[in-house]
Structure 1
Amino acid sequence: MIEFSHVGVRYEGAARPVLTDVNLDIEEGELCLVAGRTGVGKSTLLGAMNGLVPHFTGGRLTGRVRVAGFDTAEHPPRELAEVVGVVGQDPLAGFVTDTVEEELAYAMEQLAVAPDVMRKRVEETLDLLGIAELRDRPLRTLSGGQQQRVAIGSVLTAHPSVLVLDEPTSALDPTAAEEVLAAITRLVHDLGTTVVVAEHRMERVAQYADRLLYLPGDGTVVSGPPAEVFAHTDVAPPIVELGRLAGWTPLPLSVRDARRKARPLREQLAGRVPDRPSERDGEPVLTAREVRVRYGGVHAVRGVDLRLRRGEVVALMGRNGSGKSSLLWALQGSGIRSGGTVDVLGSDPKALRARAARTRVGLVPQSPADLLYLDSVAAECRQADLESDAADGTARKLLDRLVPGIDDAANPRDLSEGQRLALVLAVQLAAAPPVLLLDEPTRGLDYPAKRQFTAVLASLAAAGHAVLLATHDVEFVAAAADRVVVLAEGEVVADGPTADVVVSSPAFAPQVAKVLAPEPWLTVDEVAKELP
Structure 2
Amino acid sequence: MIDLIGLSVGYPGRPAPVLADVNLSIDEGDLVLVAGRTGTGKSTLLGTVNGLVPRFTGGTMRGAVTVAGRSTVDHAARDMADLVGFVGQDPLAGFVTDVVEEEIAYGMEQLGIAPDAMRKRVEETLDTMGIADLRRRSLRSLSGGQQQRVAIAAVLAAQPQVLVLDEPTSALDPTAASDVLAAIGALVWDAGLTVVLAEHRLERVMKQVDQVLWLPGDGRAEFGPPAEVLAHADVVPPLAQLSRAIGWAQVPLSVRDARRRVGREHVEPSVIEHEPAPVGPTTVRARGLSVSYGPVVALDGIDIDLTAGQVTALMGRNGAGKSTLLWALQGGRRSTGELTVAGADPRRLGARAARRLVTLVPQTAADLLYLPTVAAECAQADEDAGAAPGATRALLERLGMDLPSRTDPRDLSEGQRLGLVLAIQLSAGAGVLLLDEPTRGLDYEAKHQLRTMLRALAADGATVLVSTHDVEFAAGVSDRTVMMADAQIVADGPSREVCAASPSFAPQLARVFAPRPVLTLDDIDWASVRAVRS
Is residue 348 of structure 1 aligned with residue 309 of structure 2? no
Q: CA RMSD in A?
A: 1.9
Q: For residue 491 of structure 2, what is the amino acid of its counterpart?
A: A
Q: For residue 77 of structure 1, what is the amino acid of its counterpart?
A: A
Q: For residue 316 of structure 1, what is the amino acid of its counterpart?
A: L
Task: Show the counterpart of 1:51.
Answer: 51
Q: SS at 2:498's partner residue?
A: helix
Contact 1:316-1:324 at 8 Å conserved across structures: yes
Is residue 364 of structure 1 aligned with residue 376 of structure 2? no
Distance 1:18 1:117, change over 3 A: same
Task: Show the counterpart of 1:113.
Answer: 113
Deviation at 1:420, TM superposition (A): 4.0
Deviation at 1:423, TM superposition (A): 3.8
- Give me the whole-angstrom Cα distance separating, in 1, the residues matched to 2:248 and 2:456: 34
- Give me the whole-angstrom Cα distance separating, in 2, the residues matched to 1:156 and 1:224: 27
Is residue 492 of structure 1 aligned with residue 478 of structure 2? no
The 5 Å alignment of 1:133-532 reads 133-263=133-263, 267-269=267-269, 272-337=270-335, 339-388=336-385, 389=387, 391=391, 393-394=393-394, 396-397=396-397, 401=401, 408-413=405-410, 420-431=417-428, 433-527=430-524, 530=527, 531=529
Deviation at 1:400, TM superposition (A): 5.7
Instruction: Give 5+ residue unaligned stretches, structure 2.
Output: none
- Give me the whole-angstrom Cα distance separating, in 2, the residues matched to 1:121 and 1:416: 39
TM-score for both structures, normalised by structure 1: 0.95
Q: For residue 271 of structure 2, what is the amino acid of its counterpart?
A: V
Q: SS at 2:230's partner residue?
A: helix
Q: For residue 300 of structure 2, what is the amino acid of its counterpart?
A: R
Instruction: Give 5+ residue unaligned stretches, structure 1.
Output: none
Distance 1:134 1:219, change over 3 A: same
Task: Show the counterpart of 1:8.
Answer: 8
Distance 1:228 1:56, change over 3 A: same
Distance 1:420 1:71, change over 3 A: farther
- Give me the whole-angstrom Cα distance separating, in 2, the residues matched to 1:399 and 1:91: 31
Q: Percent identity?
A: 59
Contact 2:436-2:466 at 8 Å conserved across structures: yes
Contact 2:231-2:249 at 8 Å conserved across structures: no
Q: SS at 1:281's partner residue?
A: coil
Q: For residue 242 of structure 1, what is the amino acid of its counterpart?
A: L
Q: For residue 502 of structure 1, what is the amino acid of its counterpart?
A: C
Q: For residue 341 of structure 1, what is the amino acid of its counterpart?
A: E
Deviation at 1:267, TM superposition (A): 5.0
Q: SS at 1:443's partner residue?
A: coil
Distance 1:293 1:201, change over 3 A: same
Query: For each residue in 1:2-47, what CA deviation from the matched residue of structure 2 results, as whole angstroms up to 9, or x when unmatched?
Result: 1111111111222332111111211111111111111111111111
Deviation at 1:328, TM superposition (A): 0.6
- Give me the whole-angstrom Cα distance separating, in 1, the residues matched to 2:342 and 2:98: 41
Deviation at 1:150, TM superposition (A): 0.3
- Give me the whole-angstrom Cα distance separating, in 2, the residues matched to 1:495 and 1:76: 52
Distance 1:28 1:366, change over 3 A: same
- Give me the whole-angstrom Cα distance separating, in 1, the residues matched to 2:223 and 2:29: 16
Contact 2:5-2:64 at 8 Å conserved across structures: yes
Contact 2:509-2:518 at 8 Å conserved across structures: yes
TM-score for both structures, normalised by structure 2: 0.94
Contact 1:399-1:423 at 8 Å conserved across structures: no
- Give me the whole-angstrom Cα distance separating, in 2, the residues matched to 1:398 and 1:111: 53
Q: For residue 313 of structure 1, what is the amino acid of its counterpart?
A: V
Distance 1:43 1:378, change over 3 A: farther
Q: SS at 2:103's partner residue?
A: helix
Q: SS at 2:207's partner residue?
A: helix
Distance 1:407 1:102, change over 3 A: farther
Distance 1:193 1:429, change over 3 A: farther
Distance 1:387 1:57, change over 3 A: same
- Give me the whole-angstrom Cα distance separating, in 2, the residues matched to 1:496 and 1:314: 9
Q: SS at 1:454's partner residue?
A: helix
Q: For residue 22 of structure 1, what is the amino acid of its counterpart?
A: V
Contact 1:479-1:522 at 8 Å conserved across structures: yes
Distance 1:31 1:415, change over 3 A: farther
Deviation at 1:384, TM superposition (A): 3.2
- Give me the whole-angstrom Cα distance separating, in 1, the residues matched to 2:233 and 2:379: 35
Q: For residue 351 of structure 1, what is the amino acid of its counterpart?
A: R
Q: SS at 2:57's partner residue?
A: coil
Q: For residue 451 of structure 1, what is the amino acid of its counterpart?
A: H
Distance 1:400 1:219, change over 3 A: farther
Query: For each residue in 1:485-516, what CA deviation from the matched residue of structure 2 results, as whole angstroms up to 9, or x when unmatched?
Result: 11111111100000100111110110001001
Aligned length: 526
Q: For residue 483 of structure 2, what is the amino acid of its counterpart?
A: V
- Give me the whole-angstrom Cα distance separating, in 2, the residues matched to 1:293 and 1:179: 29
Q: For residue 73 of structure 2, what is the amino acid of its counterpart?
A: A
Contact 1:246-1:265 at 8 Å conserved across structures: no
Deviation at 1:426, TM superposition (A): 4.1
Q: For residue 472 of structure 2, what is the amino acid of its counterpart?
A: E
- Give me the whole-angstrom Cα distance separating, in 2, the residues matched to 1:496 and 1:236: 29
Q: For residue 472 of structure 1, what is the amino acid of its counterpart?
A: H
- Give me the whole-angstrom Cα distance separating, in 1, the residues matched to 2:36 and 2:289: 41
Distance 1:331 1:372, change over 3 A: same
Q: SS at 2:289's partner residue?
A: strand
